[in-house]
Every structure is written in structure tokens, then in C-alpha cells.
Amino acid sequence: MSKFTLEYWEDEGWFVGRLVEVPGVFSQGETLDELTENVRDAYRMMLESEPTNFVPKSSNRIPLEMNV
């Protein structure tokens, strides 16, 4: 089981959110519970459409600061 961060906000009566760790996984719902389930579905669909080996099992990470 993987753990992710759901970031969400309200927009015109809808809960809109994204998975912070997975760019491109966004969804919305009328309730927070519906948003949570819709984001899970979006993540599942992304996994089904992408090869599961696109990220190597071993990788390195470093902090990166950027001025935008």
C-alpha cells in the first residue's frame, strides 16, 4: 500500500483536489468523501494507462530549490 497526500480546496461548491506526489492526478466531488474516491479512481486509471516499470526500483533524491 502506498501513501499519498491529497491536497484539496473548494471551488464554487465543489471539492477539487490532487495527489501532491503524482503530477496529473486531479479530480473533484460534491463532498470530501466523493473527492477522495474520485482521486483514487483517477490514480487507478493512471496506473492502468502507464507502464508500471517507468520508474526504476532504485533512484536517488536530493532537495531542489527553485525561484519561480
Convert the pLDDT of each residue in 17-49 to its tens digit. 999 988 889 999 999 999 999 999 999 998 888
**Residue 7 predicted with pLDDT over 70:** yes
Q: In the numeric block, which cell numbers belong to residue 20?
A: 501532491
Asked, for residue 17, whether it belongs to a domain, the answer is yes
pTM over 0.85: no
Asked, for residue 36, whether it belongs to a domain, the answer is yes
Sign, CA dihedral 34-38-57-48, equals positive
Asked, for residue 31, whether it belongs to a domain, the answer is yes
- Tell me how far CA of residue 2 lies from CA of 17, 22, 28, in angstroms: 18, 12, 21
Asked, for residue 60, whether it belongs to a domain, the answer is no
Predicted local distance difference test score (pLDDT) of residue 40: 94
Number of structural domains the chain divides into: 1
Asked, for residue 24, whether it belongs to a domain, the answer is yes
Average pLDDT, the chain: 85
Asked, for residue 19, whether it belongs to a domain, the answer is yes
Asked, for residue 1, whether it belongs to a domain, the answer is no
Its domain, for residue 41, covers: 6-49
